[in-house]
Structure 1
């Protein structure tokens, strides 16, 4: 569970006969517009989490001057705590490369935040993802509780589970179980992984929505194709 943080082919043999299988996850806007989302996670020393977040809050304007921040969260419960998670938006890989180069030469950002806080970080993980074509980034109406649900899909790709997963997500949205912020699938990182970011008004409303969704046959049917990581 995430609490609102400080800011917010295989070569074919000759004459082979093939059939192309399409799904919502494999085709669509992401192939043409190139927009990507970087999931960056910092695992922090327990005694330094609050200090790290305060330092970021003071310095965030230096970082967002280079690229767009979708969100920045700290982990309240569920898995390892003392962790911050943030999503950055880039137009394409060339844009990301240019931003990383600019940050490496930004002395103010380096001196005021990065260098002083490196000692607070135990490790970091980075994934490059695409927003699925049938989903747009949502903007929650007010402060609340965020949940990042990560699913490790069965081998076989989106042609196997794409449509069912879309139905399951839409069941939550259409029946008001939760508010969707975004659905992302990993391009660089663990294979067959999908992240779903939800917003709820409170932890209790999230628990109630989860209870009712588990009785929805569309959600139950989709769950047979993947497991939550």
Structure 2
């Protein structure tokens, strides 16, 4: 990615003839640099992700009086997947959470498909004809109010996903970006992520391929809410973090966060 993208620094006309010998002037000029991304023939997925792995993020709004039977239904679906030889070592549940702060009566499930969209096709063909799975799907339909599915790619600069234990809380920060800004987002966050590694808080970072487009999801892991507060405050004390935030905020159309707790059958706790 670094070889394909470069920053272009643009200085207003009336400033171009100023001397740059002074360190103070240089520091001031750096504040007005505008970052631009040159056109490229490479797709976003090739430039930002380097793995033939697709992640599926399911978002379910379950009925307020149906949380327990709903979670039992999902647990049975996870168990069914594990019994299918065609899906062995290619389809895995990474994390399963219910929302504690944010959208209430909501659950998120993150699946990993090793083998890309081909393996998703295999999964869909199998579930379309399997009677046991169809029964579970019909049962789930009676327990939820709404469902949404996104296919995602992991950012190549994000740390490798590592399952956590014992039980933690997770924060998913979801961003709807302005169309055409995904490369610039990745370019800035490739630097920004270095400021967020001190407490091993970075769990996963994705951008959407199918579903709601120009969506980014960052998932962070914390011991508790107070640890979250202290960790985020420490990032602001790191020189350079404020600059990364300043460059990425203008790229956002909408954002929201949810604090989640793992289900008892979630592989990551």
Alignment TM class, shorter chain as reference:
0.7 to 0.9
Aligned to 1:196: 218
Aligned to 1:166: 190
1:131 aligns with 2:137: no
1:34 aligns with 2:58: no
TM-score of the aligned structures, taking structure 2 as reference length? 0.68
Gaps of 5+ in 2: 1-37, 257-269
- Return the offset for 1:161: 2.7
Aligned to 1:15: none
Checking the alignment, whether the CA contact within 8 Å between 1:24 and 1:132 is kept in structure 2 is: no
TM-score of the aligned structures, taking structure 1 as reference length? 0.78
Structure 2 CA distance for aligned equivalents of residues 199 and 131 of structure 1 = 16
Checking the alignment, whether the CA contact within 8 Å between 1:148 and 1:196 is kept in structure 2 is: yes
Listed one character per residue, the Cα deviations across residues 67-104 of structure 1 (whole Å, up to 9, x for unaligned) are 211111111112x1111111111221121011012112
Listed one character per residue, the Cα deviations across residues 168-219 of structure 1 (whole Å, up to 9, x for unaligned) are 222111x32x522111111123333211111111122112212222343433
1:149 aligns with 2:169: no
- Return the offset for 1:44: 1.0
Structure 2 CA distance for aligned equivalents of residues 219 and 21 of structure 1 = 30
CA gap 1:25/1:216 in 2 versus in 1, 3 angstroms: farther
Aligned to 1:88: 111
The structure number with the bigger radius of gyration is 2
Q: Secondary structure at the match of 1:137?
A: coil
Checking the alignment, whether the CA contact within 8 Å between 2:48 and 2:186 is kept in structure 1 is: no
CA gap 1:102/1:166 in 2 versus in 1, 3 angstroms: same
- Return the offset for 1:123: 1.1
CA gap 1:49/1:141 in 2 versus in 1, 3 angstroms: closer
Report which stretch shifted further, 154-163 or 120-129.
154-163
Structure 1 CA distance for aligned equivalents of residues 141 and 43 of structure 2 = 42
Gaps of 5+ in 1: 1-17
Q: Alignment length, in residue pairs? A: 206
Structure 2 CA distance for aligned equivalents of residues 156 and 19 of structure 1 = 10
| Structure 1 residue runs of 4 or more that deviate by more than 6 Å after TM superposition | 21-25
